[in-house]
Structure 1
Amino acid sequence: MADEVKIYRNWSSPYGLRIVWALDIKGIEYENIFEDLSQKSPQLLQYNPVHKKIPVLVHKGKPICESLVILEYIDETWKETTPLLPKDPYEKAMARFWAKFVDDKLLPSIWSVFTEKGYEAKKEALVPAMQNLEFIEEQLKGKKFFGGENVGYVDLALGWMAYLLDVFEDVLNLKLFDADKFPLLSGWMKNFCDASAIKQHLPPRDKLVTKFQQFHEKFQTAN
């Protein structure tokens, strides 16, 4: 097919899931190509020679890399379907800002709690993570989703939080998220996971727990 769409990803990567969710929202047919990251395929290395990472979207034989870039490509390419980004230039710029904040600030701050050694170090790392969550909570005032009434660009960028935070809590035996402190985010997480395009693609929770338990053990025993 001249217009074929392929996604190179693995089963659990939140970055790859962003693309799956976006294509589902847009109603675009695609082929999943699952990568073993311990033995990357020649195709992946060919399509992403710079970073050698997933996800990669291949459309009409041309590769696009980096999940946020891919989301914008999808939105621009299939304009006639549900938009992911606002049309207003200012609102679009703000959506890009907050999606970048999620990747550059929020996700690393949560991940640092996961990777720190010892309970006290984890509690200390939690402080900046909570501050970042406060910034995100503010953006939901008066809205069901960051994109308004429908899942949009920022929602997809933040989607990992809706299904991974409680997995991390189980693995760490540490409370990362207080629904009373973040009522808007708590409501958003439920709404996000209940959306049909999202729900059908969520990874199995038991497999996620096993995966991140193994990660955590490696971090805790590393020199």
Structure 2
Amino acid sequence: MHKDESMRRTVYKERESQSRQREAWPTLARLEFRPKAAQTKTCALKMFSNKRLPPRDIVSHEREGLQERLAKRCPKEDLLLLDFWVSPFCMRVKIALAEKGLNYESKEEDLFGGKSELLLKSNPVYQKVPVLLHNGKPLNESAIIVGYIDEKWPSPPLLPACAYGRSQARFWADYIDKKLFDATCTVWRSTGEAVEVAKKDFIEVLKVLEEALGEKKFFGGKTFGFVDIVAIPMASWFYASEKFGNFTVEAECPKLSAWIKRSMQRESVAKALPDPEKVYDFVVMFRKMQGIE
């Protein structure tokens, strides 16, 4: 009996010692040597037991290894935006980049004095902004660029998770591209009785969008997303249309106006959109250049 009791105590002490060792070095063993779990954990424990590193050194060593692996997986992105400050299409790209938390360089184009060789080379078909160069590869057309950004950097997502939701978002983005910009600009490009016709058409487009928005906070629901990014830059041009058309969007479409104010509270939008009065000054200047009185 005495011999058995002595053996039990010896086994208990050995197990207790092994348990303390496992508690001392489990984190790094799991993190650094996960592929070959059983065999490699033992090697890791022996390696660090021989070195007698205190736990804080293990944590530091562990973080350095993690940072090195993340750097290899996520190389630094080279993003260059060929921009024009008043273009609502360029604003879309800037908002999308900001929503993803991406750093980029912006190069302002002189669209009236002469387009750069880089722009002509990067977009030889349309020769217009925006162009986003990702690691030297050019991307054209704002809605396509926003979609690329969302696909390349999926978090946080801009498009809905389900296929139907994504198709609906793309439908409304296409509607905005085909209807909203032209309707907005036609108001301030018109003169005489044509202004009233243009104003009526513009308001009809806004009401269609207001109906699509419904009671939702944003077009995609509770979260700011793809359709909001495509639509909100045009709001910076509404003031010019209001001035020349003698009306207000708020009076005609109060729900849409409330959506504009909500969207403007986002930092990404507030930083990307210029002052509407500066856009109005640009429109006045552009009308003179086009001989519109």
**Structure 1 unmatched ranges of 5 or more:** none
Matches within 5 A, 1:16-35: 16-35=90-109
Which residue is equivalent to 1:166? 239
The alignment-based identity, stated in percent, is: 36
Please give the alpha-carbon distance, in whole angstroms, between the structure 1 residues aligned to 2:236 and 2:119. 27
Paired positions, count: 218
Matches within 5 A, 1:135-174: 135-170=208-243, 172=244, 174=246
**CA contact 1:98–1:154 (8 Å) conserved in 2:** yes
Matches within 5 A, 1:38-57: 38=112, 39-57=114-132
Please give the alpha-carbon distance, in whole angstroms, between the structure 2 residues aligned to 1:121 and 1:73. 39
Q: Which protein is richer in helix relative to its size?
A: 2
Which residue is equivalent to 1:76? 151
Which residue is equivalent to 2:191? 117
Which residue is equivalent to 2:81? 7
- More relative contact order, 1 or 2 (CA 8 Å, 6+ apart): 1
Which residue is equivalent to 1:200? 271
Please give the alpha-carbon distance, in whole angstroms, between the structure 2 residues aligned to 1:92 and 1:144. 18
Q: TM-score, normalised by structure 2?
A: 0.70
Counterpart residue type for residue 207 of structure 2 = E
Aligned partner of residue 192 in structure 1, secondary structure: helix
Q: CA deviation at 1:115?
A: 1.1
Q: CA deviation at 1:220?
A: 5.4
Q: CA deviation at 1:201?
A: 2.3
Which residue is equivalent to 2:261? 190
After superposition, the C-alpha distances for 1:48-105 in whole angstroms (9 at most, x for unaligned) are: 11111100011111100000000000000001x2111112111111111111111101
Which residue is equivalent to 1:216? 287
Q: 1:85 aligns with which of 132, 140, 159?
A: 159
Q: TM-score, normalised by structure 1?
A: 0.91
Q: CA deviation at 1:163?
A: 2.2
Q: CA deviation at 1:132?
A: 1.4
Please give the alpha-carbon distance, in whole angstroms, between the structure 2 residues aligned to 1:36 and 1:71. 23
Counterpart residue type for residue 175 of structure 2 = F
Aligned partner of residue 127 in structure 2, secondary structure: coil
Aligned partner of residue 221 in structure 1, secondary structure: coil
**CA contact 1:2–1:60 (8 Å) conserved in 2:** no
**Greater Rg by CA:** 2
**CA contact 1:163–1:193 (8 Å) conserved in 2:** no
**CA contact 2:188–2:240 (8 Å) conserved in 1:** no
Q: CA deviation at 1:207?
A: 2.6
**Structure 2 unmatched ranges of 5 or more:** 1-74
Moved more, 139-148 or 28-37: 139-148
After superposition, the C-alpha distances for 1:129-163 in whole angstroms (9 at most, x for unaligned) are: 22211110111112111122222111111112322
Aligned partner of residue 216 in structure 2, secondary structure: coil
Report the CA distance shift for 1:180/1:116 in structure 2 as closer, same or farther (over 3 A). Answer: closer
Please give the alpha-carbon distance, in whole angstroms, between the structure 2 residues aligned to 1:42 and 1:86. 38
